[in-house]
Structure 1
Amino acid sequence: MSLNRMGVLGPLLVIAGCFLLFHGESSMGTGTIFASLWPTLFVLPLGVFFHWMYFYILQRRGVGLLVPGGILLTTGMVCQMATWFDSWGTLWPGFLLAVAVGLFELYWFGGRNRWLLIPINILTALSVLFFIVFSIGSLLGMLYSGQPVIAIALLAAGTLLMLKQRRDRHPL
């Protein structure tokens, strides 16, 4: 059976393309590949495996498999983005969201126990709150370090506000 018939070639090409796109170095070795793609190679397949077990092998029995499956899928995506963009300080709230995703899958596919919504909502709210706070902190850090893009955006926004204020006082 060929790689293309098994459906493996497409994802491998996508992974290779993402690696080449996000990895700025020209040298590529086994260590470089593992350092950049460890979440895609090890964490995401486990999350997919748990979902595959629940949906296809156990045929929707054993809903508890979705909790680690959702946690591993979300954690794998967070880790992969943080590795590619070197943004661990901003994306760490995704780990709180991973637990909320796993519990939400248990809620959705399991008996819809409404008490699960309490930790799901708390974890999701904390994740969003921390993500906003640390994103703003990163943006302010970029501003403080003299990032010209943010400086230009602030200048443009201030100029537009002043022109709008002036137009409101003196209509044509």
Structure 2
Amino acid sequence: MPEERVSPKSSIAQVLMGVIVIALGLSIIFVPSLLENFWLLFIWVPGLIMEYNAIRAEKGLFVAGGVLLTVALALTLGVAFDGFYESGGWALFILAPAVGLLQLYLAGGRKPRALLTPIFVLTLVAVISLIPSVLSKWAIITVGALLIGFGVLILLKKK
């Protein structure tokens, strides 16, 4: 019977995968509450894999990877901190596509300026959405008054 040869790369990957599966099994046995939030791994892992592959070859995967990782971060923070979404954390979901597009823009050899428009708009919407949760009541009124004044100036500006 011929002897099978295993390359060092595959044996290292095999050992690593085995250790990860054993650690996961031990974690589930000794920390049963781990299963309550286990679903988050189904968002984190594909996002990390896409980012890894985007760095290696396929730059287009930065968009999907960036979106998944930002959504995974928002969901993880929502699980970790009660009231995270109510206090403005939901704006991270708006920011997710902007993060992916920004990664694509920064990683791409040619820099298509058309990507900057959705990046800017989505980031602006997310930041404006966060303002009420970060500022006091008077600061919000001040920001609102400034925006109204700016809008009036735009309307009255002569061409």
- TM-score, normalization by structure 2: 0.61
For residue 108 of structure 1, what is the aligned residue in structure 2? 106
Matched, 1:82 2:82: no
For residue 166 of structure 1, what is the aligned residue in structure 2? none
Q: Give the aligned length.
A: 116
Q: What amino acid maps onto 1:121 in structure 2?
A: F
Q: What amino acid maps onto 1:107 in structure 2?
A: Y
Q: Following the alignment from structure 2 to structure 1, what is the Cα–Cα distance between the partners of residues 12 and 63?
A: 33
For residue 69 of structure 2, what is the aligned residue in structure 1? 73
For residue 99 of structure 1, what is the aligned residue in structure 2? 97
Q: Following the alignment from structure 1 to structure 2, what is the Cα–Cα distance between the partners of residues 119 and 113?
A: 12
For residue 36 of structure 2, what is the aligned residue in structure 1? 35
Unaligned runs of 5+ in 1: 17-27, 141-172
Q: Following the alignment from structure 2 to structure 1, what is the Cα–Cα distance between the partners of residues 16 and 60?
A: 28
Q: Secondary structure at the match of 1:63?
A: coil
Q: Secondary structure at the match of 1:112?
A: coil
For residue 133 of structure 2, what is the aligned residue in structure 1? 134
Deviation at 1:95, TM superposition (A): 0.6
Unaligned runs of 5+ in 2: 1-10, 138-159
Q: What amino acid maps onto 1:38 in structure 2?
A: W
- TM-score, normalization by structure 1: 0.57
What is the Cα-based RMSD across aligned positions, in Å? 3.0
Q: Following the alignment from structure 2 to structure 1, what is the Cα–Cα distance between the partners of residues 126 and 96?
A: 9
Matched, 1:125 2:124: yes
Q: What amino acid maps onto 1:53 in structure 2?
A: N
Deviation at 1:105, TM superposition (A): 1.0
Q: Following the alignment from structure 2 to structure 1, what is the Cα–Cα distance between the partners of residues 54 and 76?
A: 24
Identity %: 31
Q: Does the 8 A contact of 1:97 with 1:127 survive in 2?
A: yes
Q: Following the alignment from structure 2 to structure 1, what is the Cα–Cα distance between the partners of residues 133 and 39?
A: 25
* Pairing of 1:49-60 with structure 2 (within 5 A): 49-56=49-56, 59=57
Q: Secondary structure at the match of 2:111?
A: coil
Deviation at 1:124, TM superposition (A): 0.7
